Amino acid sequence: MKKPILPTVYLRLLAGAVLPAFREAFALRRASVKRPRPGLFRMLMPRAPDLKCDTTARAHVGLGFGTALRGAVILAAHDPVGHAVGAHPPDGLARFQIPEVGFDGWLRFAGGSLEGGHGEPPAPADVTVCFPHFRTALLALRDELDTMAAIGTGEMLVTGSLPLAERLNVVLERMSDYFPPKK
């Protein structure tokens, strides 16, 4: 694997789509709609100084990984590359865990389609990707993690089928084609 299992797609997703949509809506309905509380913005798209705060960083990590798993399911269904990746083996279930923020999600390739969810998965995981420390997961979200080194040092634990993790990574990386990072 050459890139983080879960890259910065979340930030890109939010930066590229969700927040602009919010802002457009606010522009149209400025008179009648209140702006979200500043705290929400800090949570969704934090500035680097905000991430020094553990509370903000933990929430950001949980939201980010949740968004990434959901996005992967959508891409596998509708994106040509994601769909093509789904057509190749291996099938199986991948579980993603960040215990420090209580994140526990899963994705499952089966018969060319991808499904996902949170909490206890419906079957034993073929591969488990675990970030023992949420700060490592944060680096992965921000595309600042040397994944191969992190696996070697134990900062990131991948147990089970590495090819399945790699296959999911290809789908996740595809997100950045839809939501290119803001310059």
Chain positions contacting other proteins, by CB under 8 A = 1-3, 90-92, 95, 97, 99, 104, 124-128, 130, 132-133, 146-149, 151-155, 157-163, 170, 173
Q: How far apart are CA 50 and CA 32, in angstroms?
A: 29
3-state DSSP call for residue 50?
helix
In angstroms, give the least distance from the CB of 131 to other proteins: 8
Q: How far apart are CA 63 and CA 58, in angstroms?
A: 9
In angstroms, give the least distance from the CB of 72 to other proteins: 16
In angstroms, give the least distance from the CB of 97 to other proteins: 6
In angstroms, give the least distance from the CB of 161 to other proteins: 5
Nearest to 97 by CA among 69, 75, 71, 73: 69
In angstroms, give the least distance from the CB of 48 to other proteins: 22
Q: How far apart are CA 151 and CA 164, in angstroms?
A: 16
3-state DSSP call for residue 162?
helix
Residue with Cβ nearer other proteins (14 or 131): 131
Residue with Cβ nearer other proteins (99 or 181): 99
Residue with Cβ nearer other proteins (49 or 154): 154
| Residue 122 structure tokens | 């419906």
Residue with Cβ nearer other proteins (8 or 161): 161
Residue with Cβ nearer other proteins (20 or 90): 90
Which one-letter DSSP state was computed for residue 29?
T
Helix (H) or strand (E) holding 92: strand 92-98
